[in-house]
Amino acid sequence: DWVRLATCMPPEVHELPLAAGWARFDATCRYYKTQESIVIVSIAARTTQSFRVSAALATLPEGFRPAADLEVPAIFKSSRRLVTIKATADGNLFVDLTDQSGVAITSDDYFFATFAFAAT
């Protein structure tokens, strides 16, 4: 006897609703889960407000969250500022500055990021 492990069905793609202070930049912000329960998050966003340390970016719904907090690197294109995107186990996504402490990211700077993790 054989057991089906996977089908060739594409995943259902969802729009990632961004928090206040962010807007989509030139592409969609989205997330989806593969048949193997790997969540893929793709972000193309720009700031609409300045921030100095950290800014809430979005929230992933239940079933699309990491088992533990994780951080992935990103870089703002215009200012070349280094940041990390933190995904918490409760689904919150944050952008945290990692360079030039106390120097604000100005509005209209933008970044692209794609990252993956195993869903809970």
- Domains contained in the chain, CATH given: 14-118 (2.60.40.1830)
- In the DSSP assignment, the letter for residue 13 is P
In tens, the pLDDT along 62-86 reads 999 999 999 999 988 888 889 999 9
Q: What's the pLDDT score for residue 42?
A: 95
In tens, the pLDDT along 16-63 reads 999 999 999 877 899 999 988 999 999 999 999 988 889 999 999 999
- The continuous run of DSSP H or E covering 40 comes out as strand 38-47
Write out the DSSP string of 49-91.
Answer: S-BSSEEEEEEPPTTSSBSS-EEEEEE-TTT--EEEEEE-TTS
41-60: b (≥16 Cβ within 10 Å) or e: bbbbbbbeeebeeebebbbb
Q: What is the largest CA-CA distance in the chain?
A: 63
Query: Whole-angstrom Cα distance, residue 87 to residue 59?
Result: 9
Write out the DSSP string of 86-109.
Answer: EE-TTSEEEEEE-SSTTPPBPTT-
